[in-house]
Structure 1
C-alpha cells in the first residue's frame, strides 16, 4: 500500500510581493523610510550619491524630501541617478494639513528627475499637473515628520509621470522653530 502524507507535498513557492507591498508601511515613528509608486512600479532609495539618501530637511518654513535610485554606487557627481522630490517653502507646515503640489504661484511642488550622462530630464508639477502632500505627524521636539504624497509631473516635451502611494516617516535635519 502507498500512503501520502502532507509532508510529501511539494513546497509552494512564495508569491512575489506586489509593487505596493514593496513600499514601506505608513508609520509615524521616525523610521527613516520613504517610497512611492512611479508609473505603477515601486520606487525606493538605493545607493548614495554624495549625500544622505534619503534626505529630509525642514528649516522652519522650508521643507525638502528627496530620495533617489543611484545606478552607479561610486557616483559622486549625481550622474546615473533617478530621484523623486517634494518641496515646500515660505510656510510653516502643520500636522493634519494637506498642501497642493503644483509649483506655479504655490510654495509646494513635486519633481521626478533623471540624471544620466548626456540625458537629464526633469518632470515637475505645475498648474495643470498637480498633487498633494499630507502631513500626518510633525513632532518638532524629536524632529519627526511623516506623511503621504502623490503627484503628476510633466517634462518640457509634455511626457507625464505618475507618482502614487508616496509615504514617508523621517527624522528631519534642521529646526522646526
Structure 2
C-alpha cells in the first residue's frame, strides 16, 4: 500500500502548483492567419492592446492600406487606454512603399504633415498628470525595425514582428519595445 501512495505524492505536488506566466508568455503567439492580435514588451513588461472608453470598437484600430504610385502605404495603430481615460498608450506604424513581405529599417526622421514620410513608428504615453501625451519616435538616434512576414492583399492579412527603440520627441527619455508581433485582418 505504501509504494502506491508514494507514487501519487509527486503527482499531487506537481499538479497543485500553478506556474505564473512570464511577461513574454503573456504576449499572443506570432501567427500569420489574420487573428487580429498584437502585443510587445514595453521595457520588459507585456503590453497588449485593450478596449478603451474612447474606442468605438477594437483596440487595434486605424489600420489601413492605401495605394500609392510605388506600392502601398500601411498604417497601423494599437491603443491601450483604461476606462477612466486618464492614462494610456498608443503605438502607430507608418510603412510606405510596401509591395510584399519585407524588412523595414525605421531610421529616418518623420516630418509632421509632410506629403511623404519614411517608414516610422510613434509611441504616445498619456499620464494622468498631463493633458497631452508624451511622444516617442523612431529615427536616426532610435534605430528600429519592422519585418512584415505576411502581406496578403487578396486575403486581407498583414502580419509582422518588430523591435523598436523610441526616443522622446523633445528630450532624451527612451523606451524599448521588444518581441513585438501583430497579425491583422485588414478591412
What TM-score comes out, normalization by structure 2 length?
A: 0.79
Gaps of 5+ in 1: none
What is the aligned length?
167
Q: Distance in 1 between matches of 2:163 and 2:2?
A: 58
Query: Residues of 1 paired with 2:87 and 2:108: CA distance?
Result: 26
CA 2–27 in structure 1, closer or farther in 2 if over 3 Å, else same = closer
SS in 1 for 2:25: helix
Which sections of structure 2, spanning at least 5 residues, go unmatched? 111-116
Task: Give the SS at the match of 1:21.
Answer: helix
Report how far residue 57 of structure 1 moved: 1.6
Deviation at 1:153, TM superposition (A): 0.6
Residue aligning to 2:109: 104
TM-score w.r.t. the length of structure 1 is: 0.83
Highest CA radius of gyration, 1 or 2?
2
Task: Choose between structure 1 and 2: higher helix proportion.
Answer: 2
- Structure 2 distance, partners of 1:59, 1:22, is 32
Distance 1:160 1:116 in 2: 16
Q: 1:25-46 CA deviation, whole Å, 9 max, x = no partner?
A: 1111101011111111111011
Q: Which residue of 2 aligns with 1:25?
A: 29
- Is the alpha carbon distance of 1:117 and 1:140 closer, same or farther for their aligned partners in structure 2, counting shifts above 3 Å? same
CA-based RMSD: 2.1
Pick the aligned partner of 1:41 from 42, 45, 50. Answer: 45
How far residue 118 of structure 1 moved from its aligned partner, in angstroms, is 4.3
2:74 aligned to 60, 63, 86, which one?
A: 63
